[in-house]
Amino acid sequence: SSLFYTTNDKNTVKDGNTGKYAYIKMSGQYAIYYIIAFDEGYVYRFLDGNGDETSDRLPITGGTLNDVIILTYHDGGTEWQNALSFKYKRQPTTLILQDYDYSTYTFDPTDLNHALELLATKTIIDY
């Protein structure tokens, strides 16, 4: 059976290490999206509703959503990290982002096909 936010089935979705997942957080008038694409080896982060036309693309260098996936940004001489994980092990219905300053944000599952359509309109920026 298919789940609206992932390419995984109801069993593999709990593993947090295959296929694609899509999550959303509303922030005022715009939305923050994460597409976690294990099948491509990348995480995409982009905004919708604020006119931003780009998406960050960050390599998945290891880990799973049951422990943690560390995303490392490089910009000039600066480096910083964010971390993604399921809020509760093997429960993919809530994603947690921990920012470089240790702030924590909660994301909810969102329609994967819609998120991929939005991503297709963005210019990709590799970090």
CATH code (residue 20): 2.40.160
Percentage of the chain surpassing pLDDT 90?
94
pTM metric for this prediction: 0.96
Structural domains counted in the chain? 1
3 domain residue, yes or no: no
Quote the pLDDT of residue 2.
73
68 domain residue, yes or no: yes
6 domain residue, yes or no: no
29 domain residue, yes or no: yes
7 domain residue, yes or no: no
Structure tokens at 126: 């590799």
Q: Which amino acid is at 125?
A: I
Q: How far apart are CA 47 and CA 118, in angstroms?
A: 9
Range of the domain at 78: 12-126
What are the tens digits of pLDDT across the range 61-118? 999 999 999 999 998 899 999 999 999 999 999 999 999 999 999 999 999 999 999 9
16 domain residue, yes or no: yes
